[in-house]
Every structure is written in structure tokens, then in C-alpha cells.
């Protein structure tokens, strides 16, 4: 994941523009994961575009990786997850944020608050997740 993110950094910077600062916090000595690198890039790109759209006057986009061991309480809270060593990728921004009513709907494949033709969509992530059995997405509260 770190390799994919590092080689993708330049493109991400171009994508988000000069007013948004990109902060990469990649954990050293991270284990490998079973995933298609191109699909990983697509997921990160879509999240970065969402962040860019949420920061029209600039801000900070942070992307981090972390080696974690998924435990039973988490497994119980997230359908389809499995316990054991995993790589946690976090994407956060200092943008507008999301009120609860939007947050409740963001994994709906075609949900958008943007005018027609503008949005890019987690529908990509939705599609990818269906093809890629081991990936799990999790929405934090920040
Ligand atoms: N980083 C973010 N900050 C604030 N709101 C967001 C963010 N990401 C997504 N959203 C909200 O969730 C909605 C759905 O996002 P998404 O599924 O990517 O579709 P789209 O980008 O096409 O609107 C967006 O329209 C926006 O309102
Ligand atoms: Mg989007």
C-alpha cells in the first residue's frame, strides 16, 4: 500500500491543486496486502477528489497507513470483516465535513449532493469492493 501511495503522490498533488496541502503519513515496515494496485489508486483518487470538492478554498488532505490487528469487537461491528493483521488506510480532510444525514447515506452507490455531471462517486469504490473480496471500508466520525 505504501508503494502504491508513494508512486501516486505526484498525481494526487496535481489533482488536488495548489491550495490543498497533501500530508502523507505512511507507517514504516508495513506488511503487504492482497489487492490490485490500480484499483487501490482508483479508490484513493476518488476519495481525494471528494476532499478537494469539500475544500474549495484550500485546506489539508491527510493520507495515512498503519499496520493493525483487527479484533473481534471490530469484526462484530463491521459486516464482512475478518479478524487478523490488516493495513488501515485513513483519508481525512479539513473541509466542510458531513452532517449525520449525509454520512448515513454516503455508501449508497448513486447518492450525491452535487449537481448533475459533477460528482465522481464512491460508486467506484462500491463497484470495486464487490470485485475485491478482501477490502473493507469503514467510515470514521471525524
Ligand atoms: N470528504 C468529504 N467531505 C465532505 N463531504 C463529502 C466528502 N466526501 C463525500 N462527501 C459528501 O458525500 C456525497 C457523496 O459522495 P460520493 O459518493 O463521492 O458522490 P459524489 O462525489 O459524486 O457526490 C457528496 O456529494 C458529498 O456531499
Ligand atoms: Mg465523489
Q: Tell me what pLDDT residue 105 has.
A: 93
**Average confidence (pLDDT) over 102-116:** 88
Q: What is the pLDDT of residues 46-79, one digit of tens each?
A: 999 999 999 999 999 999 999 999 999 888 888 8
| Ligand nearest to the CA of residue 105, numbered in listed order | 1
d(CA 86, CA 118): 34
User: Which pTM was predicted?
Assistant: 0.82
Whole-number percent of the chain with pLDDT over 90: 66
**pLDDT for res 61:** 98
Residue 140: predicted pLDDT:
63
C-alpha span between 27 and 133 (Å, rounded): 24
CA 113 to ligand 2 center in whole angstroms: 9
Q: Is the CB of 121 under 6 A from ligand 1?
A: yes
List the shell of residues around ion ligand 2, using CB closer than 5 Å: 50, 120-121
Question: pLDDT tens digit string along 78-92?
Answer: 887 889 999 999 999
**Is residue 104 scored above 50 in pLDDT?**
yes
Percent of the chain with pLDDT over 70: 81
2 lines ligand 1 (CB under 6 A): no
Residue 49, classed as helix, strand or coil, is: helix
Whether the pLDDT of residue 139 is over 80: the answer is no
Ligand 2 centroid–CA 84 distance in Å is: 30
Q: What angle do CA 21, 111, 12 make, to 5 degrees?
A: 20
| Choice from 48, 106, 124, 140 to test ligand 1 binding pocket (greatest atom count within 8 A of CB) | 106
62: alpha, beta or left, given left = phi > 0 and alpha = psi -120 to 50? beta
pLDDT at 50: 95
pLDDT for the residue 56 = 95
Sorted by where each starts, the structural domains of the chain and their CATH numbers stand as 2-131 (3.30.565.10)
Average pLDDT over residues 113-118: 74
129 touches ligand 1 (CB under 6 Å): no
Give CA separation, 98 vs 44, 73, 77, 134, in Å: 19, 26, 21, 27
Amino acid at each position: 500500500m505504501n508503494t502504491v501511495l508513494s508512486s501516486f503522490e505526484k498525481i494526487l498533488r496535481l489533482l488536488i491543486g495548489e491550495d490543498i496541502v497533501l500530508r502523507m503519513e505512511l507507517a514504516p515496515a508495513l506488511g503487504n496486502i492482497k489487492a490490485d494496485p490500480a484499483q487501490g489508486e482508483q479508490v484513493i483518487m476518488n476519495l481525494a477528489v471528494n476532499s478537494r470538492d469539500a475544500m474549495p478554498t484550500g485546506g489539508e488532505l491527510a493520507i495515512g497507513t498503519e499496520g493493525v490487528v483487527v479484533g473481534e469487537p471490530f469484526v462484530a461491528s463491521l459486516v464482512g470483516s475478518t479478524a487478523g493483521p490488516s493495513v488501515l488506510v485513513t483519508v481525512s480532510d479539513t473541509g466542510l465535513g458531513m452532517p449525520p444525514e449525509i454520512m448515513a447515506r454516503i455508501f449508497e452507490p448513486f447518492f450525491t449532493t452535487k449537481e448533475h455531471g459533477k460528482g465522481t462517486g464512491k460508486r467506484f469504490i462500491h463497484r470495486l469492493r464487490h470485485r475485491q473480496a478482501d477490502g473493507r471500508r469503514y467510515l470514521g466520525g471525524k
